[in-house]
Each structure stands twice: as C-alpha cells, then as structure tokens.
Amino acid sequence: MYRSSHLTMKYGLRFNRRNARACCSSKHEKSATELCKVDPEVFEGLHGVTYFSLADNSIDHVPDYLWPHLPNVKTLDFGRTKIRELRVSNFQVLPHLEALIVPGCMITNIEKNAIPSEVKRLHLGRNALTTLNGTIRGLLQLNWIFINDNDLTNLEGELPVGAQRLKMIHALNNKIEKLPTSLMTLPALETIFLQHNKLKSLEGCLSKSRMLQRVYLDNNMIDTLTEDDFKEAESLVHLFLGFNKINTLNNSLLGLRNLQFLNVTYNLLEEFSFEEIVGLDKLSAIDLSFNKISSIKGPATNLVEWNIKLSELKLDHNEIEFLNGSLSGLRELIRLNLSFNKLKKISPDDFIGLDKLSLLDVSHNSLKTLEEMSGTFLPKLEVLKASDNQLTILEKDFQGLPILCHADLANNKIIALGRELVSKTRCTLGNGANEGTWDTLKIYLQDNPILCDAALPEISAYMEINHTRIYGISHCPPLSEQPVTSKPNGFLGYIPETTAVLSATSPKTVPISKPIPDLSINQGIQSSSTSPIINPSQQANNDSLKLSKLASEIQELKNRVEELATQIEVKPDKNEDLGENRKP
C-alpha cells in the first residue's frame, strides 16, 4: 500500500495489482506535472507489472534503467513523448515484450535490431522517420504494424519476409513510390492502408495475397492497373482506388469473387463496361463518380445473364449523354445516381428490369422531358430527383411509377402538369414500421414558372384530389402580368397555343373524373357538385367560363388592393369615426 501511494503522489502513477498495469501520466496542470525524469527506485518491487505507460510526458529518452524492476512487461506505451531515437540497448532486457507503442513522438532514427524479435504489435506512426533501417525485417511474430504519417519513401527490404501472422500494415501519409515485393510473401495479410502516398502502379505486389480483405490506395498517383494486380486476391471485400489517375480498369477485377465494394471516384476513366465486373455476384456497390465517363457499355441483351447484382451505382459528375439501355437488367439495383452529367434524353429501354430501384437521381442534367419514363415500369421507385434540368411540361411521366412519394423537380422550366400525371400513382411507404401504408406524393416545384400561374389554386386542389401535394416558392410577376390558359386542355397550367404538345392534343380531351373545386376569392375554397361530368363539350364550356370568371375576380381584387393602398396614405385622427367607404 505504501509503494502504490508513494508512486501516485510523486509521479501520478496509477497501479492496479489485479490487472498488473502501471501508468505514469500528467495530471490536470500539464506544465507542472509532466515527467521529464524518472527515478528507478520508485519502481522497486513491481515485478508483476505487464503494462507500463509513460505516454503524454516530456521524457526525451527510453528509460531502460527501469527494466530491472519491470522484467515481465509485455506492453510499453511511450506515445506523444519527446523521444528522438530508439537504440539497441533500449529493450534488450525485456524478453516478454510483445507490444511497443511509440506514436506521435519526434523519432528520426531507429538503430538496426533496436526492436526485439518477440514484438507482435508495433506502432511507430506520426514520427519523422525517413527509413526503417531494416529494424523490423526480423520481426517474424508481428501481427500488425503502424508506420503511418512519417517520411518513408521505400519499403523494399524493410518488411519481415514470410511473416506468417502479419495481418495489417498501416502506412498511409508517407512518400512511398513503390510497393515492396515482400508483400507477396505475407500469407496472412488481411488489411493494408496505403492512402496518401506516391504510388504509380502496383506491379503485381498484391497478386499473391489470398487472405487480403481490405485495400486502401486512395490519393496516390496510380495510372495503370494490370490483369495480374489482384490475380489471386480472391478474398478481397473492399477496394478503394479513389483520387488517382486511372484511365482503365483493364480487366484487373475479374478474379475478385468476394468483392463487395469498389470505389474508383476521382479518376480519369472515360468509359465503363460491365464486362469489368462479370461474375462478381457479391459486388453490391460501385462508386464511379467524378471521372470523365461518356460511355457505358452493357451486354447485347441485358445484365441478368452476367450475374451482376449491384444495389448501388454512383455515376454522378461524369460526361454521360445517353444511356443506350446499358443499365437494363440490374434487377437488384436500389440506388442509382446519374446527377451532374450531360443527359439529354431518357429512353424506355434505359431502366427496363430495374424492379427494385428505390432512388433515381438525374438532377443537374440537360433533360427536356421525362415522357419516355411513362413507358418504363419502376414498381419500387419512391424518390425521383430531377431538379436543375430543362423540363417544361409533365404529361404522363409518372404513370410507370406506382408508389412514388417524392419528386424533386426544382429549378426547371415547368409551365404545366398533365391531368393524368399522377392518375396511376399512389405514394406507398416501402420500409419501416409503416411499410405498405398509403401517404401523399410530394412534388417539389421550387423556382418553376407554374408556381406563378394564376390558376395555381386550381392546380393544387386538383392534385390534392389525387393524393398529391405541391411544394415550393417562386419569384412571380404582378398578378396582372401572369398568364391564364386561354382554353381548356388536358393540362393544368398555362400553355401557349403554339406549344407543340398543346397543338398535338386531341380536341376530345379526356374529362376530369373528379370535379374541380369552384374557387372563389372572397368565399374561400368551396366544393362544386359531386356529380361526375359526362359531356366533354359541356365540361369544356364550364372550364372556359370558370377561367374567365377567375381572371375577372383576380383583376377586381387587384383594383381593390390598389384602392385600399391609396386610402391608407391618409391617416385619420385616432378619435375620428371611419366612414363605411373607408373601412377595410
């Protein structure tokens, strides 16, 4: 008890005899309690200690004079100290040492053979090492090694050749230009982190790593992949190749039978062919965003025959103009991102067979219409993002989307919605506790001309009859300058009579199956008769009369507002009784 109390008072050392752990660390006032020197006499009698830490102190050397008092130590932690060098003499008398943790120090040099061969876990990260000096070459018992955030340029001849237990190498944020060939001699290697280096190629160094599961090669200078780079890496699950200069995949992935996630974002790919992933039936997600892809190639028939089971495909920020049916047959696809491309048209064949597609993002393209989508049946699509395009009229575009719940059409040029736009759509919740429950389809029309249409109340009311709600605001001209549809047609909203879609509309427009509410400016919204309209000619005349009446009432309202504004300018005395002609 005396020894433990004395250590605590003098060094802030915490000693737990049950767990055999001793930790000397600074207390609350860093400048007052950091250790710069350690008295060996204080540690007498601690032969049972297996974990010893001097982390977060100001010591500038390894206190090897303590080891006679701590002969059974298995783990040493000197993290974030000011140690500058590891010497051969530092750990020679510690036969049981298994873990050496020295990250975030100021180490610039490690003497050869400074680290005992029994070490299994080694952390040298966040130092200033330019070479490992062959010091870990003989560590055949290593399980993992951290050498990240140093200034290493070459690992050739540095790794323990044939180490049977080495599972992880963490070497990100260095200046490594070439992979060491000794990687091919590490049969147990499962994970390798090599992000933020200067690698230009892999040169087949990972081709023999049959147990490899995770490879991180982001932010390098890789411009070439070969067919042999991952030849026998059949256990690979996650492959990160983003932020490189790769211009072709070159059939390098075909042997990765267990690959589940592939990231090739921010590269220089100009085309992508599904032939690159034929037979990879466990691959569920590919990120091809931020490349220069202008062409996507699929099979002559469809992708079902190729056993491709992607659930997520990111193709955003590329240069795709046409899909040409290349995605047809992706029956497991749930999320598809085609935003920020150059798409001009979507054809009925483009999405055939996408029976599980839940989210489709075609925003920020050059689409002028979505009419072809009415011929494609997407039974599970819940979210459609088509903002920032050049859409003008939506007629029957949603008729192939039976459970659509969210349609983002903001920042387009939409002037009219077809009366049959949502006639075959009823939002149905597809997941969660309320799965299968009906809900309201939400259409977002922010900054579209239709929001300035004088008949917007009628449009909104008609949509709500069909379980659809319109959202959004827009900057509109004065009421007197807003157009009103000149004659009844199959659309909601103003369409100039010269518009091609209007002139092509049959004079025998399909009548509204439900009554349009009679909108009165002064009386609010009142429902008209609930009797169904049968005579199309009579309905057309009624619509014309209603629109004329609506325009007249709007003008009358505007005149009244101007009259009131004039009267307000004359301020009455607070005791003056307002006459009838001056009451608002």
300-328 tens-digit pLDDT: 555 566 789 999 999 999 999 999 989 98
DSSP state for residue 486 in the 8-state scheme: S
For residue 569, give Cα distances in angstroms to 541, 556, 566, 577, 582: 43, 21, 6, 17, 12
Answer positive or negative: Cα dihedral of 135, 140, 142, 145.
positive
Cα–Cα distance measured from residue 75 to residue 119, given in angstroms and rounded to the nearest whole number: 9
How large is the average pLDDT for residues 491-519? Answer: 45
Q: Partners of 525 in the beta sheet? A: 519
Residue type, 214: R
Please, where are the H alpha helices in 445-532?
Answer: 456-465, 500-503
Residue 230 pLDDT grade (very low, low, confident, very high; cuts 50, 70, 90):
very high
- Mean of the per-residue pLDDT values of the chain: 83
Residue 511 pLDDT grade (very low, low, confident, very high; cuts 50, 70, 90):
very low
Q: What is the pLDDT of residues 551-563, one digit of tens each?
A: 666 766 666 666 6
> What distance separates the 2 farthest-apart alpha carbons in the chain?
108
How large is the average pLDDT for residues 211-231? Answer: 97
Residues whose CB is less than 8 angstroms from the CB of residue 456 and which lie 6 or more positions away in sequence, other chains included:
450
347 within 8 A of 321, measured Cβ to Cβ? no
Inform me whether the pLDDT recorded for 448 exceeds 70: yes
Domains annotated for the chain, with CATH where assigned, are 367-528 (3.80.10)
More confident residue, 487 or 185: 185
User: Which residue in the block uniquely carries the two structure tokens 């103009």?
Assistant: 321
397 within 8 A of 421, measured Cβ to Cβ? yes
Q: Residue 502: its pLDDT value, please?
A: 46
Residue 517 pLDDT grade (very low, low, confident, very high; cuts 50, 70, 90):
very low
Nearest to 413 by CA among 386, 439, 432, 433: 386
Q: What is the pLDDT of residues 33-54, one digit of tens each?
A: 566 677 777 788 888 999 999 9
Q: Residue 527: its pLDDT value, please?
A: 34
Cα–Cα distance measured from residue 50 to residue 63, given in angstroms and rounded to the nearest whole number: 16
Tokens of 89: 């003499």
State residue 200 phi and psi, 5-degree precision: -110, -25
Q: What is the pLDDT of residues 333-374, one digit of tens each?
A: 999 999 999 999 999 889 999 999 999 999 999 999 998 888
Tokens of 207: 């081709």
Cα–Cα distance measured from residue 439 to residue 459, given in angstroms and rounded to the nearest whole number: 19
Q: Residue 46: its pLDDT value, please?
A: 84
Q: Is 274 helix (H, G, I), strand (E, B) or coil?
A: helix
How large is the average pLDDT for residues 491-499? Answer: 55
Cα–Cα distance measured from residue 170 to residue 164, given in angstroms and rounded to the nearest whole number: 17
Inform me whether the pLDDT recorded for 565 exceeds 70: no
296 within 8 A of 315, measured Cβ to Cβ? yes
Nearest to 135 by CA among 170, 184, 178, 91: 91
Strands 13-16 and 21-24, by their bridges, are antiparallel
Inform me whether the pLDDT recorded for 133 exceeds 70: yes
Inform me whether the pLDDT recorded for 223 exceeds 90: yes
Inform me whether the pLDDT recorded for 514 exceeds 50: no
Tokens of 500: 């091609």
pTM (2 decimals)?
A: 0.79
For residue 502, give Cα distances in angstroms to 286, 389, 420, 496, 509: 42, 21, 15, 8, 11
Q: Residue 25: its pLDDT value, please?
A: 55
Tokens of 124: 């040298």
Q: Residue 28: its pLDDT value, please?
A: 38
More confident residue, 357 or 547: 357
How large is the average pLDDT for residues 418-443? Answer: 84
Count Cα neighbours of 26 within 13 Å in the Cβ-side half-sphere.
19
How large is the average pLDDT for residues 148-157? Answer: 97
User: pLDDT above 70 covers what percent of the chain?
Assistant: 73
How large is the average pLDDT for residues 415-443? Answer: 85
283 within 8 A of 254, measured Cβ to Cβ? no
Inform me whether the pLDDT recorded for 76 exceeds 50: yes
